[in-house]
């Protein structure tokens, strides 16, 4: 069974620090990787996606992918209290099939 | 980014009645949509995969006769909770697969269902 694992947290970081969120996946056929943010009582919203090994930066967010290690991470620089949310990692194959979400990591940014 | 609209955002219904939730992809065609349920402080739980023009695929343990899914067009999928029970009270979220955007999944705003 295809699985995506994340540490449930909570991960607590002080305001202004770098938050590092990690995700591992079991299906080597996964080709597309996504990070979503979900605030309490709201639906998930897409932060960014990554397809290729290496880093992809978008503002304060950097996604890192290592397919050999089956590992995806999300770095949040200059963390703000408004970043406090649950972060979901997701993987799929090239055709958008087998889309699997991780359980999410709860991040708390302390002012 | 792509927009997925879900309606209604909030609904209260009496036990035994049915309630329909709509999920629309506003600026792209979605051959595949997904329905999730989420209880407070718990993870998303995939209920079913809705494919345009064919029957939905339900996850194990999800009653297909209770949670009716219809995906009659490339931009609309509906979830009908039949004979609603207080235990069905939950946050229901739909998502849609945008093939024009690398098969990225976009979520609707979610619908809070309270059965009294």
pLDDT in tens, B35-81: 999 998 888 899 999 888 888 999 999 999 999 999 888 999 999 99
> pLDDT tens digit string along A42-88?
999 999 999 999 999 999 999 999 999 999 999 999 999 999 999 99
Do B97 and A99 count as a contact with CB atoms less than 8 A apart?
yes
Whether residue A103 lies within 8 A of chain B, CB to CB, comes out as yes
- Supply the pLDDT for residue B99: 81
Q: Which helix (H) or strand (E) covers residue B5, if one does?
A: strand B4-7
DSSP 8-state class, residue B91: E
User: φ, ψ for residue A78 (rounded to 5)?
Assistant: 50, 55
Please say whether the dihedral angle defined by the alpha carbons of residues A64, A66, A67 and A70, taken in this order, is positive or negative. Answer: negative
Whether residue A111 lies within 8 A of chain B, CB to CB, comes out as no
Whether residue B107 lies within 8 A of chain A, CB to CB, comes out as yes
Distance CA B19, CA B90 (A): 13
Residues of B within 8 A of A41 (CB-CB) are 91
Give the one of A42, A51, A90 whose C-beta lies nearest to B105's C-beta.
Answer: A90
Do B43 and A92 count as a contact with CB atoms less than 8 A apart?
no
Whether residue B50 lies within 8 A of chain A, CB to CB, comes out as no
> pLDDT tens digit string along B97-115?
888 887 788 999 999 999 9
Do A46 and B1 count as a contact with CB atoms less than 8 A apart?
yes
* Surface-to-core class of residue A10, CB atoms within 10 Å of its CB (0-12 exposed, 13-18 middle, 19+ buried): exposed
The nearest alpha carbon in chain B to A92 belongs to B103
């Amino acid at each position: 069974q295809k699985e995506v694992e994340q540490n449930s947290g909570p991960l607590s970081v002080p305001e202004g620090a770098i938050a590092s969120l990690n995700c591992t996946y079991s299906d080597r056929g996964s080709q597309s990787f996504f990070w979503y943010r979900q605030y309490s009582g709201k639906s998930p919203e897409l932060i960014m996606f990554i397809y290729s090994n290496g880093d992809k930066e978008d503002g304060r967010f950097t996604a890192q992918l290592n397919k050999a290690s089956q590992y995806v991470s999300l770095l949040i620089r200059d963390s703000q209290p408004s970043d406090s949310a649950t972060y979901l990692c997701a993987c799929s194959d090239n055709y958008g099939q087998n889309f699997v979400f991780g359980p999410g990591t709860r991040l708390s940014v302390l002012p | 980014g792509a927009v997925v609209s879900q309606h209604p955002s909030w609904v209260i219904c009496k036990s035994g009645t049915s309630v329909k939730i709509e999920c629309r992809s506003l600026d792209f065609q979605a051959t595949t949509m997904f329905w999730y349920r989420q209880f407070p402080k718990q993870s998303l739980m995939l209920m079913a995969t809705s494919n345009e023009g064919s029957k939905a695929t339900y996850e194990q343990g999800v009653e297909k006769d209770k949670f009716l899914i219809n995906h009659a067009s490339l931009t609309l999928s509906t979830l009908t909770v039949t004979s609603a029970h207080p235990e069905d009270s939950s946050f229901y979220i739909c998502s849609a697969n945008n093939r024009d955007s690398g098969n990225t999944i976009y979520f609707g705003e979610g619908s809070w269902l309270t059965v009294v």
